[in-house]
Every structure is written in C-alpha cells, then in structure tokens.
Amino acid sequence: MRTLILGGDGYLGWPTAMRLAVRGDDVMVVDNYLHRTLARETGSEPLMPTPALLERTSLFRAVSGRDVAVEIGDCTDQSFVDRIVDQFQPDAIVHYAEQPSAPYSMMGHVEAKRTLENNLGTTFAVIWAVMRHAPDCHIVKLGTMGEYGTPNIDIEEGWIDIAHNGRHDRFLYPRQGGSLYHTTKILDTDLLWFYVRTHQLRVTDLMQGPVYGVSTAEADCDERLAPRFHYDDIFGTVLNRFLVQAVAGIPLTVYGSGGQTRGFLNIEDTLQCVELALRTPAPAGDMRIFNQFTERLSVREIARRIADVGNRMGLDVRLTTVANPRLEREEHYYNPRHQGLLNLGLQPRYLTDDVVADLLERVRRHCHAIDTRCVMPRVRWVRE
Amino acid sequence: MRTLILGGDGYLGWPTAMRLAVRGDDVMVVDNYLHRTLARETGSEPLMPTPALLERTSLFRAVSGRDVAVEIGDCTDQSFVDRIVDQFQPDAIVHYAEQPSAPYSMMGHVEAKRTLENNLGTTFAVIWAVMRHAPDCHIVKLGTMGEYGTPNIDIEEGWIDIAHNGRHDRFLYPRQGGSLYHTTKILDTDLLWFYVRTHQLRVTDLMQGPVYGVSTAEADCDERLAPRFHYDDIFGTVLNRFLVQAVAGIPLTVYGSGGQTRGFLNIEDTLQCVELALRTPAPAGDMRIFNQFTERLSVREIARRIADVGNRMGLDVRLTTVANPRLEREEHYYNPRHQGLLNLGLQPRYLTDDVVADLLERVRRHCHAIDTRCVMPRVRWVRE
C-alpha cells in the first residue's frame, strides 16, 4: 500500500509513518515544520529534543531496515500537493497537516488567520489534488472530538438521524467547537462532505480525542525516534502538563472545577485506529466517521490519578485550581459513542497506573529541561 | 444610524444603500468590483449597462439629495477593513461582500479557491474589524436558504431543537449546500457562530432565497440607478434567464424535471427585510437567524408562469428540458419556515402576473443587448 502522510513530522505523523513502514507500506511523509516554527515562536519547546525528519528517517532505517521518503513543503501550496500526489500515486493519504493547538488559535488575529488559512487550505489542496491526480485515493482525515463540543444529548459517530414533526432525515451531527482551531476542523468537515457528495471521494474522518503517551513499538527502539512531547499551555495536552508539573514540584493546575470530560486514547491506539481505517477504505462517495478514543476522563480525574501515582513514587504532588482561561462548560453531560473502530478490531489500552508511572519516569529523566515558565496559561479566550 | 454596506456595488448592495440613505442613515458602500471582474471574465455581462459606484452616487445625489460615501477596496484585506470600520464607526454592517454564484464556484480549481478565499476571508476580516474597532456594531450577514439544501424534514429558522435518546438540546440547523458557493456560506455561519459565542458579537444571519426584480422606489427614479440584471447561466438567476429566453424566442431551459423548489422574494422585500433587521438589532451574544423569502415556487411553476404571461403579451414562449448540469434533487420535500421577518413587520409582495409582465417589458426594451450564447448551461457540477 502506498501511503502519503501529510504532517509527517508531527506528534502522530511520525509514529504513524514508522508503523506503516514496518508493516511494509511504501510511506512518504510531507511536512513544512510549521508546528516547530510555531512552538519556537511561542516559547513552547518540547521536553526532549526531536531530530529533523531526514535524521529521523536515517535513524529509523538503521534500527528497522525500512525507508520512509521525505518531502519538505507547504501543504497549502496546491502545485506542491498536486506534484506529490501525481508522482507518488498514493492509495491513501493520512491528513494530519493542521495547526493543532486550540490556545494558539485564540492568541490573536495573526494566529487565528494562520490557523484558518493553514487548516482549511491544506484540506482544500488535498481534495483538489486527489480529485485531479488520484481520484480513487482514500483520504484519512484527522478530525477531533472537540468539533462536537459538549452537547446535552448523546454524541453519535459523525451522523445523526433526526425525527422532526413526523418526518426524518440523516444529517452530519451538529458541531460547535470550543476554539477557532476546533472550528477550522468543522469547516474541514463541511468542505470534505461537499466534495464527497459531488466527486465521490473516499473519506474517513477520525474524530479523535486527546492522545497521550510517547511509547510505540518503533519509537521505543531509540529515544531519538520518540514522538514530540509538549507540556506547555499552548501545544501541550492537559495530561502532559500535569506530568511535568508533578515532576517539577508545581501544583497541578486544574482549570476551573476540572469537570471537563473528554475521550482520551493512548498513542498506540491512535496507530491501531489509523491502520484499521487504512486497511478497510471508505467506499467511493462515503464520508465515514469514527469517534476515536478509548475512555472518558475528566480533568479532575486525570489530576488525581497523576497525583496518586506520583506520590507513591516519592514525588510531592499537589493540586490547585486556576481560573479557567477557556470558555467551556466545566460540568456537563458527555456521552459520545465510539463503537465503529471497536467493530473494526481496535484493542483498547487504558490509562493505568503503570502507564502513568512510566510517563512520570520518562519526564523525570528529562527534568533538567523543564521550562517552568510555560506551564501556566498564557492565552485567555476572552480578554478582560 | 451609521451603516456600512460591504459589497455595495452588487445587485442588492446598491439598492440597499439608496434605501437606507433615503431613510436618513449615514451610508458608506465598499466594493472592489470583484463581481464585475468575474462577470467580464466569464462573458456574463448584465443586460443593462451599470455605471460605476462614483457615477451612481452622483446620479443618486441628483435625484434624491442624499449622499452615499464610497470606498473602493478588498474586504479580505484586514488592514483595509480595520481602517474603514475604525474611521466610520458603523452602528451596523450589512455584509454582502461575497462571490454569489453557485456555477462560478463549480467551474474549476481557480474559481473554487477564489470563492472560498473571498467569502470566508471577508467574513473573517469583518469579524476581527468589529471585535477590535466597533464591538457593539450589529453585523447583518447575507446567508442563503441554499445552505439548508433540501432535507426531508421541515426547515426551521436557523436553529433546531433535537430530542434524542430522552434528552434534548438546541443546535444550528444542519446545513448541506448544493455548491461550493453555498458551502462557503455554511463555513461563514460556523465562523460567525463561534465568535458570537466567544466575543458576544451581535449578528443577524439572513438566509435569503433567490431574489427577483429590478424595481425599487429609488431605482425607478433613473434607469441608470437600477440594480444589475444578469441573465446568463453563471450569474443570472433562473427567473432572469427565463425572462430573457422568453423575449429572445429561445425555449425556457428547465433543468431536469423542474421540480426544484425554492423560496423566492422580490427585491423590494429584500430591502424591507434588511431594514427590519437593522432597526431591531440582535442582542449582544446572539446569532439571530431569519429565513428570508416570501413564497415557494418550483422551477417548473416559474417557467409556466412566465410562458403564460409572455404568450398573452404576444411573445412565442415555449418550454424545453435540458439535462440538469447540477447535482440536486429534482423532486423533493421543501417546507421551510419563514415567520421571523413577518413577525418584525414584513409586508410581502408576490410574483404576480403584473410583476412578470413588467419584467418582460423591461427586458423587451433591452432585447438588442441579449447575448444568446450565455443562457445555456456552461458549467457542469461533475465532469463526465
């Protein structure tokens, strides 16, 4: 299988590339290092150094004997994406090439515009490159569970049957994201669904929850192959931030009441899900949508779990509450379905104490690199 | 009231400017003549010549004694929109500044990209200019009934209460447009609704159906003040196309079975609706949505009505069916509500035989200018 990974330098892009290469796919990764640029600009460096793509592919070849092709370029540039798709003739494209940070998208006008133009621009260029050069190619698009927001009804997998005044029809499940970043993913969905209808594209939209972990079968061969670990308020996830705070002796900063509940998954499960989606392509003209997570956790539960494990390891972990910089419900109903990927064969793993302990150990080995200035919220959704 | 009209050179923008100026508003129109440029590029000139904005404002001043300020510029240019909003300090912005043609948006990549970037870009720039320079300003955005598509359930006014598995919540009514143009309006809606939630904007979204007519109280003072009349397959509406075909002795080209049903309105009613929306601004933090049309008509009914009136006037009007160049349902359920604007006081007028006869007369006076090459469909939604 020929698989093109857009955003192949990213937290998930690179581990996906290694996994598929080990499975025997012909893999090409494409990236323009936008994420690294934005992280540098915002003082949000990852905890462990991350070699550039060409160095990573050399290291990976040395441990695995597998090649991963690399192209450096901007996926909003239509002529660039056209050339790549035309020449590589992928069976599938995994589209991770988006600005992934909610707080970044809320910093100001420049960041909002960059997020909007990059995310919608890459999706638009991918759609047109596929329509023109590889119309049968399966697009696996990374959406986010955050597109749904926190509605007061059960969250279905992408679609909902609505009965209304004695009639019924099936619609995209209504979406309302909690940041401009999430909103750009909604726009992506609208755009993809339009071209699926008119041009019979094959699309799988993976509505993914927050991912944790840095351990994958391939990354564990050499620490320099590990996925990027961001722990700051802009590019880090809440889980990573808590892990670093636990090690650095800073109270875990719970935003508001901490009742914010999301569907989380281990990075190994992301790799499983993407591979399952790739091995069973969506039919032509179908926009197949899966909710991609394995367990629901609230911010409060995550903080307590990390505190418990950390304290047993001899760390002195405390919790604190900070004013929520985001506009979001802190206590809410949350019942999203996530059956589709289980039906395809997903074997979930969970955030056990062992997983937390392993992550805390890794962070502890790199504790000299922690920059404590970037763990408190620097971006507010609304200015006073 | 200080009212800024973006897209003030357009079919609706210019009549709106005259109406509000006559009412005593301080009116500024902004346009970059994009519509004229695209019409010229696609061989879609209007039937009657349309003077440029500065000439129109001079003519209008001569007949009304009212001034309309003009700024020529691109509303996707943030610094331009910032300057205008900051200096003019509008109480309201009427945002018409979008590429309005569904067929244009389906011509190819260049046209699709231009439509996406222009329409979403203007909306984004307006949002940011308002947030930064006139946060209390009421944004009256022209949406389209086409955002809803043709669902099998009743179409509510923008929002729907969904009961699901014993719980319920209120959502934006699910949208799925029939062209990329319509899809960009959906993206606009998502973007506006996000910033309404986070920044307490005041927004009224007018989900307008196809508009017909060139007669308004102000335009009737001098034919050179008339709204642009496009009758081609790209920028013309189905009604205008049929009027011109009737006069030119070309059979009225019904796309497919002609059962496509939409909600239409007279241009005078558009002016009423916009004025009603302006005089009762949406509260801060509210995205108020009205379905803006006065009567449902199918393509078949419109063709028959124009044929009947035309034949009584001595024209020889016949109907023909052509293969539908669009992807759309030709026979479908269509029951959209449109109560909100009636509640505000809208006095609807309808497409009577007199209105049709008046339009046919006008077209007959300009029949020497009809270019019969541009009335047959030149753009197909899907290429064979």
Q: What is the 3-state secondary structure (H, E, C) of A212-236?
A: ECCCCCCHHHCHHHCCCCCCCCCCC
- Whole-angstrom Cα distance, residue B10 to residue B226? 11
B174 contacts in chain A (CB < 8 Å): 162, 171-172, 174
3-state helix, strand, coil in chain A (%, to 5): 40, 20, 40
On whether the CB atoms of residues A295 and A226 are closer than 8 A, the answer is no
User: What are the structure tokens assigned to A202, written together?
Assistant: 């094959």
pLDDT digits (tens, 9 = 90+) for B93-141: 999 999 999 999 999 999 999 999 999 999 999 999 999 999 999 999 9
* B167: β partners: B164
Return the closest-CA partner of residue B343 out of B283, B287, B291, B285: B291
- Whole-angstrom Cα distance, residue A255 to residue A246? 16
How remote is the C-alpha of A316 from its chain's centroid?
Answer: 31
State yes or no: pLDDT of A82 exceeds 90.
yes
**Which of B132, B153, B186 lies at the smallest CB-CB distance from A164?**
B153
Interface with A, mutate which of B110, B123, B131, B153 (most A CBs under 10 A): B153
Residue A144 bears catalytic tag: yes
Question: A211-212 and A138-144 as β-strands: parallel, antiparallel, unpaired?
Answer: unpaired
B78 contacts in chain A (CB < 8 Å): 109, 113
Return the closest-CA partner of residue A272 out of A218, A341, A219, A358: A341
Mean pLDDT of A67-78: 98
Count CB neighbours of A163 within 10 A: 12
**Which of A132, A151, A183 lies at the smallest CB-CB distance from B194?**
A183
State yes or no: pLDDT of A383 exceeds 70.
no
- Whole-angstrom Cα distance, residue A179 to residue A47? 25
State yes or no: pLDDT of B241 exceeds 90.
yes
- pLDDT confidence of A382, banded at 50, 70, 90? confident
Q: Which residues of B have a catalytic role annotated?
A: 144, 181, 185
pLDDT at A303: 98
**Which of B153, B162, B168 lies at the smallest CB-CB distance from A165?**
B153
Inter-chain contact A174–B171, Cβ cutoff 8 Å? yes
State yes or no: pLDDT of A384 exceeds 70.
no
On whether the CB atoms of residues A197 and A285 are closer than 8 A, the answer is yes
Inter-chain contact B162–A165, Cβ cutoff 8 Å? no
What mean pLDDT, rounded, does chain B reach? 97
Return the closest-CA partner of residue A124 out of B212, B142, B121: B121
State yes or no: pLDDT of B35 exceeds 70.
yes
Which residue of chain B comes nearest to A129, CA vs CA? B109
**Which of A168, A174, A186 lies at the smallest CB-CB distance from B174?**
A174
- Whole-angstrom Cα distance, residue B173 to residue A23? 43
On whether the CB atoms of residues A300 and A330 are closer than 8 A, the answer is no
**Which of A163, A183, A191 lies at the smallest CB-CB distance from B191?**
A183
B152 contacts in chain A (CB < 8 Å): 167-169
| ipTM of the shown complex | 0.97
Residue B330 C-alpha, separation from nearest chain A C-alpha, in angstroms: 16
If interface means Cβ-Cβ distance under 8 Å, which residues of chain B face chain A?
A: 78, 106, 109, 112-113, 116, 120, 124, 128, 132, 151-154, 160, 162-165, 167-169, 171-172, 174-177, 180, 183, 186-187, 190-191, 193-194, 197-199, 327, 333, 381-382
The torsion defined by the Cα of A236, A41, B196 and B272, in degrees rounded to 10, comes to: -150
Interface with A, mutate which of B198, B327, B329, B337 (most A CBs under 10 A): B198
Burial class (CB in 10 A: 0-12, 13-18, 19+), B320: exposed
A332 contacts in chain B (CB < 8 Å): none
State yes or no: pLDDT of B350 exceeds 80.
yes
A162 contacts in chain B (CB < 8 Å): 153, 160, 162, 164, 174
DSSP code of residue A339: -
**Which of A153, A164, A327 lies at the smallest CB-CB distance from B169?**
A153
Residue B174 C-alpha, separation from nearest chain A C-alpha, in angstroms: 6
The percentage of residues in chain A with a pLDDT greater than 70, rounded to a whole number, is 99
Rg of chain A (C-alpha set): 20
Inter-chain contact A186–B186, Cβ cutoff 8 Å? no
How remote is the C-alpha of A267 from its chain's centroid?
Answer: 9
pLDDT at B384: 54
Mean pLDDT of A208-223: 97
- Whole-angstrom Cα distance, residue A221 to residue A204? 30
B191 contacts in chain A (CB < 8 Å): 116, 183, 187
Residue A348 C-alpha, separation from nearest chain B C-alpha, in angstroms: 26
- Whole-angstrom Cα distance, residue A361 to residue B301? 74
State yes or no: pLDDT of A179 exceeds 70.
yes
Residue A4 C-alpha, separation from nearest chain B C-alpha, in angstroms: 22
pLDDT digits (tens, 9 = 90+) for A94-113: 999 999 999 999 999 999 99
- pLDDT confidence of A365, banded at 50, 70, 90? very high
Q: Torsions phi, psi of B148, nearest 5?
A: -75, -25
- Whole-angstrom Cα distance, residue A302 to residue A242? 8
Mean pLDDT of B79-101: 98
Inter-chain contact B174–A176, Cβ cutoff 8 Å? no
- Whole-angstrom Cα distance, residue B88 to residue A76? 35
Encode A65-85 in three state secondary structure.
Answer: CCCCEEEECCCCCHHHHHHHH
- pLDDT confidence of A174, banded at 50, 70, 90? very high
**Which of B162, B194, B327 lies at the smallest CB-CB distance from A162?**
B162
Candidates A96, A181, A231, A255; catalytic one: A181
- Whole-angstrom Cα distance, residue B147 to residue B129? 25
Residue A171 C-alpha, separation from nearest chain B C-alpha, in angstroms: 6
Place of tokens 């990764």: A29
- Whole-angstrom Cα distance, residue B94 to residue B275? 10
Inter-chain contact A382–B186, Cβ cutoff 8 Å? no
Which alpha helices (DSSP H) does B3-101 contain, by range?
A: 13-22, 34-41, 53-64, 78-88
Inter-chain contact B183–A191, Cβ cutoff 8 Å? yes
pLDDT at B382: 86
Return the closest-CA partner of residue A196 out of A264, A141, A269, A120: A141
Count of A-B CB contacts under 8 Å: 112
Which residue of chain A comes nearest to B380, CA vs CA? A198
State yes or no: pLDDT of B75 exceeds 60.
yes
Mean pLDDT of B60-84: 98
Query: What is the maximum alpha-carbon separation in chain B?
Result: 64
Count CB neighbours of B36 within 10 A: 17
Three-class SS state of B181: helix
